[in-house]
């Protein structure tokens, strides 16, 4: 059984994330979406909220589960008996940092990193850009899963 981890902050999950998770679910037996409990970085959504939105939007996949973690991604992988991480690559600009992380993760725990190229429909997406555009009234429908739109509007209305 080949299991992989898709780690991230998912603050909030975008259609780009969902595309990678869904495609990974088609290739591997099980995908564990690992939501980072950010201690230093201020997030718009709590870890529970981010994980709940991910559960909602991945509920159609029988082989995807969502967990939370803190500390090192590789420690989460080892604790769950997983030896590979799947990441999306949006552009060449992602590559340098992703390669550095992949090499460090292999050095730390021999955990492999497998890259999937992002669907070009979503290659310009990031959670930070979604929040910025939504904050100033831009339309982000079609860029985040439908169940994220309500919580995003509600959170911005509180600012
Ligand atoms: O969605 P993000 O914030 O870009 O995801 C980054 C993430 C969570 C994959 C990365 O920051 C990470 O793995 N953090 C956990 C701490 C860790 O393992 N750091 C060393 C990476 S080599």
Chain-centroid distance of CA 141 in Å reads 18
Whether 70 is a known active-site residue: answer: no
Chain-centroid distance of CA 95 in Å reads 16
Among residues 50, 87, 90, 131, the one annotated as catalytic is 90
Looking at ligand 1, which atom is closest to the CA of residue 75? 18
Q: 61 by DSSP, 3-state: which?
A: coil
58 CB under 6 A from ligand 1? no
Please give the helix or strand (H or E) that residue 8 lies within, else none: strand 3-8
Q: Whose CA is nearest to atom 16 of ligand 1?
A: 72
Instruction: Output the CA–CA distances (angstroms, integers) from residue 114 to 119, 143, 145, in the order listed.
Output: 16, 24, 24
Whether 41 is a known active-site residue: answer: yes
Q: Over the stretch 76-115, which tens digit does the pLDDT of each residue have?
A: 999 999 999 999 999 998 999 999 999 999 999 999 999 9
pLDDT for 41 equals 85
14 CB under 6 A from ligand 1? no
7 CB under 6 A from ligand 1? yes
pLDDT for 80 equals 97
- What is the pTM assigned to this prediction? 0.97
Q: Whose CA is nearest to atom 7 of ligand 1?
A: 8
pLDDT for 159 equals 86
Parts of the chain with a pLDDT under 50? none
């Amino acid at each position: 059984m080949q299991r992989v981890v898709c780690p991230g902050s998912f603050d909030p999950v975008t259609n780009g994330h969902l595309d990678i998770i869904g495609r990974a679910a088609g290739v591997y037996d099980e995908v564990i979406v690992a939501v980072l409990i950010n201690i230093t970085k201020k997030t718009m959504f709590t870890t529970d909220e981010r994980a709940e939105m991910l559960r909602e939007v991945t509920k159609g996949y029988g082989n995807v589960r969502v967990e939370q973690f803190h500390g090192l991604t590789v420690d989460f992988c080892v604790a769950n008996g997983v030896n590979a991480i799947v990441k999306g690559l949006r552009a060449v600009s992602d590559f340098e940092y992703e390669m550095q992380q992949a090499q460090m993760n292999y050095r730390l725990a021999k955990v492999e990193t497998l890259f999937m190229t992002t669907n070009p429909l979503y290659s310009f997406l990031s959670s930070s850009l979604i929040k910025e555009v939504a904050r100033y009234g831009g339309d982000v429908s079609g860029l985040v899963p439908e169940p994220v739109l309500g919580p995003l509007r509600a959170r911005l209305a509180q600012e």
